[in-house]
Structure formats: structure tokens, C-alpha cells
Structure 1
Amino acid sequence: MRRYLKSRRAISGAVTALILVIVSVALALAVAVFAFGLFGTFGSSGQVQAIGTPVVNVKNAKNQGYYNIILTVQIKNSGTVAASVQSVSIGDITVAAGNANLVVTPSSIPGGFDGTLNITITNQPNLPGVLQKGNIGGSVPVSITFSEGSLSPTLTLQGVLNGTTA
């Protein structure tokens, strides 16, 4: 029996190392192809970003005691998928798409868009402190949630209160 084991030959260390290197490279290549393919899909689904500082204005509505809040922001959609606004928060006021008090122009932001997005929240009976006259020139927290294909990115920004007739 001892003679039988001595006569068997095993794979040399160099051949084993070469096989391990080839398998490792093949696995790394497969992972890289999967990762770049996956990230490429996310990258092509659109990217909305704000350019510059959003400007917020508050105006008296025609009916006394109600206010319209106007947000103006430069937007760029560097992707290929159109985006639309799903909700907007200005100060402590949040309004979702479909609410009659939310007016967004343009209503859809096509791929390649680079321009002004105007958002108006109408008929607000109360204004948070950041939208009062005492905060003109001050910071206003702004959050805009978009729908871009299967994604829902949110831009969290700091706007400037430009003027108010409140």
C-alpha cells in the first residue's frame, strides 16, 4: 500500500497557484461587469440637481389672511428620464402633488432640462417664523421630492427669504 501512494503524482505548487490566479481574475471580472452594469442602470435614470440658491417670496392672497409662498429654483436634469415634483416642504409647510394648493411650473422636468422651476403653495392661513418679515434675507429650509422613473430623490436645500407682504 505504501508503494501505491508514492507512485501517485500530485499537482505542483506552481500549477496550483496559476489556477488560483486565473479563477480569481475571472471572478473579479464577473463582479466588475455586474457592478458597472448595475451602476449604469442607476445613472441613466436621471439626476435632478439644484443650481444656486433657491429664492422664497411670500405674498398676500386676494382673500385676507391667506398667503401664497413662491419658491424659485434653478434646476438641472442631467439624466434622460423626466422628473416630476411629488412633494415640497418650505419651512414647516409640506404639500404633496395632487393637492390643489400646489402649483408647479413646469409640471414635468424632461431629461436635459436646465432652467427655472417655479413652485407656489397657495392659500396658507399661517406662516412659520422663517417666512415672516423679520427673516427677510434669512435662511429657509426647503425640501423637494421628485419622481424619476423608479427613483424618488429628495433635494434638501437652504433657500433665502427674498420678500414678504405678510
Structure 2
Amino acid sequence: MKNPSSPKQSLTKTESVDLRSTKDFNPQIGKLTFTLNANQKEWEEDLVYFKTIYFQFVKLAKRSRNLHASKQKDLIKFLSRVDDLINNEAMSIIENMDSLKLEFEISEKPDIQLIFQEYADLENDMEGIRKEFRNFTVFFLQELNRISPLKIY
């Protein structure tokens, strides 16, 4: 039975936790599920911001017949790179942040350190993707302003 006075446990690479007291540990099914939700709100805000800019960019591309030929070429080339990113696995991960879960099979004597190391590695990978995503957003705005006759902020 859960102790109501115990603080809610959060899983980070610097903390350890007794699996038997973790609400997501179910010995019957032998699985431990971690939900990765660190900075989820910030991820969502970044994604909304990026998509807003992207859709403005697509609108501009549709009117690109009015652009000088060299600008139009730049625009099409850049739009193609953005499409690659939109369809990239990283974007899929970001869009599904609220449902991203890690499941580990639990043996009779689970290697707890390995489980937490894998969790920490995933957190680091996600943070790396997030930094790349933010860097790209900055680059995206600069590029958009460079090739666009309109200034979109």
C-alpha cells in the first residue's frame, strides 16, 4: 500500500529508487515503465513556434512565382531541407513526447544500474536533439529573412 506522506519520486540519473516502491513496477508482468516527461512543456512550446514559422514559410513558397529566379531556387532548396527535418525521426519523437515511454524487461535480479544508465542515456540523447532543434529554429529564421521579401518574426 502506498504511503501518502512519502514524496512523489522522480527518476533522474542522480537518484536511485527501490523498484518495489515504484508505482510503475508490476512484478506480475515483469516490466518497469518510465515516462519521459522532462521539459515536455518547453518541447511543446518549441514545436508550436517552429510549426508556426514553417507554415508561414510554406505560404511564402506557394507565392514564390513572384520571386526573382535565384531567390526562388534558394527557397525551394531550403524548403526541401525543412521537409527533410519535418519528416525526420527527431520531429516524430518531439510530437509524441507525451506518450514516450521506456519499458525494460525485469528479471529476478534486475541490473538496476544498467536500467538507470539507459534512462540517463536517453535523457541525454533527447536533450541533444532538443538543442539541435533550437539551433535549427534560429538558423531557419535567419534563412527565412535572408531569402524572403517579407520580414517574418
* Greater helix proportion: 2
User: TM-score, length-normalised on structure 2?
Assistant: 0.27
**Larger RCO, structure (CA 8 Å, separation 6 or more):** 2
* Greater strand proportion: 1
